[in-house]
Amino acid sequence: MEIQLFVPSYRIDECLQEIRQCLEKGWTGLGYKTVEFEKAWTGYTGLPYAHFVNSATAGLHIAVDVLKKRFKWQDGDEIITTPITFVSTNHVILYENLKPVFADVDQYVCLDPEDVKRKITRKTRAVIFVGLGGNTGQYEKIVDICRQNKLALILDAAHMAGTRLHGRQVGAEADVAVFSFHAVKNLPTADGGMVCFAEGADDALARKLTWLGINKDTYSRTMGKGAYKWKYDVEEVGFKYHGNSVMAAIGLVQLKYLDHDNTYRRQLSDWYTQSLKDIEGVEIVPVYEGCESARHLYQILINNRDELLLALNEEGIYPGVHYLDNTEYSMYKYARGTCPRAAEISSKIISLPLHLRMGKKEVDLICRAIKKLMGTRWRLFLPAVKNLAERVAALAQCKDKSFRIEGKRVVLRALQSDDLQMTMGWRNQDSIRKAFIDSSVITREKHQNWWKQYQQRPNDFVFIIEGRKDSRPIGQLSLYDLNLEKRTAEFGRFMIGEADAGSKGYAQEAIDVLLSWAFNQFDLEYVYLRVRSDNAAAIRIYNKCGFTAVKTSDSITDMRLTKQQMKYFTQ
């Protein structure tokens, strides 16, 4: 079974019936059904004006164009916007020679009101708020900020068809709200959008601008009377942005089912939440209190997002990512680094499949796949360090006194000179010494020499395992020859030195934590180790951690753990 992110559902017979009327009448263009659809939309939302356009992108452009004209904004003036959106939102600002200034997002992955306030300058003219996935986020606060600072407000409601806030449809508070009826939106046509101005004059200008600046549309002319009905003036350099009757026909049918469909989307979302809320490492993007979200998206944040995507793909499940931080795109790179939370969220966010052909069975299947992955050895979710230079820099800090890798019950910290007495004591215990390949007793002098050399070997790392609660050192383990070019390392020198800490699963967790960190942090291909073949206890633990033997002799077993094994090895 395959589960896609979005699959639109059309009431096919009803749509065909409605389209048939257009064909029979001989009217598929602007007018007729577009007029009916606009009326139906104002009836449904309670908004005073609605103009049907051929996409929300077109609607957003017209929104900015009209407001720029009305308020006499100058080229170079600024509009505050979000980096977590489809690029349409930001492109339309550039179409009008204005400057997108990015503000950071909040826990709802919508504009953070506090950062919006910080980003206001003398040149700020407007804010574009995106209700991501149908969520209102802290839209109310943005409305207040705009009023207090005399800024125009554009609501990009592409995901919000049917969203209510405190029981009311959204959009009336903004200067203009723009909805999308694109093929996979909550109200799918094939393409289309609705631009809803608060002011009649803006709506009138918009209608002109979406029909190339012509002051009379063909439909009114055809329906009008008199010898001069063919004549019109062109009063603006407008665009060909208006919607058509075939799309409006589909929209009219789909609108009847919008609330019903959104209710079902909320049901699917509730099922997701029930299953995912207790999984460690999964953070559910919350819906703002008082918001009845249209639930265009169901989004979670997880540190190993890309691994999850691949793992789900392998099971025939195809989630999506909404969106890459727009400042990552070349067009908006001037703003890179200005929205740290957005940058972080962008690397963690994933939209799970959500559409009307899914049922509880599909949600359960997806949640089971997520649980399975989260139960694997990739449990320590540190952000992957991307390029070699960053990896080298990260590596240089691994011997610092303050360096720590946190597990659930254990913490790993870098070995320091004042640990040497303790580690020598551990190493020389009979039971431990015999388990080492070199089982000789270590003298103080030998240990000191080793330490001196160790400090000069930048790619060898020894860590002390501490209990997380009491910070008591209980053992050690290491990664040697961490090779950033080949992306390999040797694991070893592992021991639980404190006898009362043995057989409690600390060893396995410590190895797990170290390997998760190393694989994630340095994008390792594999880790190898050598163990005495008679050390059955260690081999068992290594097996549990995902290592497999690649070569075995009577005395030595060579084991290896690859990236793939690491990923799919479950407890």
Ligand X SMILES: Cc1ncc(COP(=O)(O)O)c(C=O)c1O
**In the complex, which residues of this chain contact ligand X (CB under 6 A)?**
55-57, 85-86, 88-89, 130, 156, 158-159, 180, 182, 193
Cβ proximity to ligand X: between 3 and 56 the closer is 56
User: In this complex, which beta carbon is closest to ligand X, that of residue 67 or of residue 507?
Assistant: 67
Distance between CA atoms of residues 500 and 511, nearest Å: 18
Min dist. Cβ of residue 158 to ligand X (A): 3
Handedness of CA 435, 441, 444, 447 (dihedral sign): negative
We find the least distance from the C-beta atom of residue 514 to ligand X, in angstroms, to be 41
Return the number of the residue (194 or 415) whose C-beta is nearest ligand X: 194
The structure tokens 């992110």 sit at 5
Tell me the closest approach of the beta carbon of residue 373 to ligand X, in angstroms.
27
Q: How far is CA 92 from CA 42, 65, 79, 86, 488, in A?
A: 24, 9, 10, 11, 47
Rounded to whole angstroms, the Cα distance separating 261 from 255 reads 10
Question: Least distance in Å: CB of 258 to ligand X?
Answer: 16
Cβ atoms of residues 407 and 454 within 8 Å: no
Q: Name the residue nearer to ligand X (CB basis): 38 or 156.
A: 156
Q: Which helix (H) or strand (E) holds 198?
A: none
CB of 188 to ligand X, least distance (A): 10
- The residue among 277, 265, 271, 297 whose CA lies nearest residue 110 is 297
Q: Which is nearer to ligand X, 86 or 517 (CB)?
A: 86
Q: Is 536 helix (H, G, I), strand (E, B) or coil?
A: helix
Residues 514, 463: contact at Cβ < 8 Å? yes
In whole angstroms, how close is the CB of 416 to ligand X at the nearest point?
51
Q: Taking the complex as a whole, how short is the minimal distance between the CB of residue 301 and ligand X, in angstroms?
A: 18
How far apart are alpha carbons 39 and 444 in whole angstroms? 89
CB of 103 to ligand X, least distance (A): 15
Could you say which DSSP state residue 325 is in? -
- Of 399, 392, 400, 407, the C-alpha closest to 510 is 407
Show Cβ contacts of residue 63 under 8 Å, excluding neighbours closer than 6 positions: 92, 154, 175, 176, 178, 195, 197, 206
- How far is residue 125's CA from residue 80's CA, in Å, rounded to a whole number? 8
Q: How far is the CB of 60 from ligand X (least distance, A)?
A: 6
Q: Which residue, 250 or 462, is less far from ligand X as judged by CB? A: 250
Q: Which is nearer to ligand X, 137 or 193 (CB)?
A: 193
Instruction: Compare residues 335 and 369 and give the one whose CB is closer to ligand X.
Output: 335
Q: In this structure, how many other beta carbons lie within 10 angstroms of the beta carbon of residue 12?
A: 10
CB-wise, 103 or 370, nearer to ligand X? 103
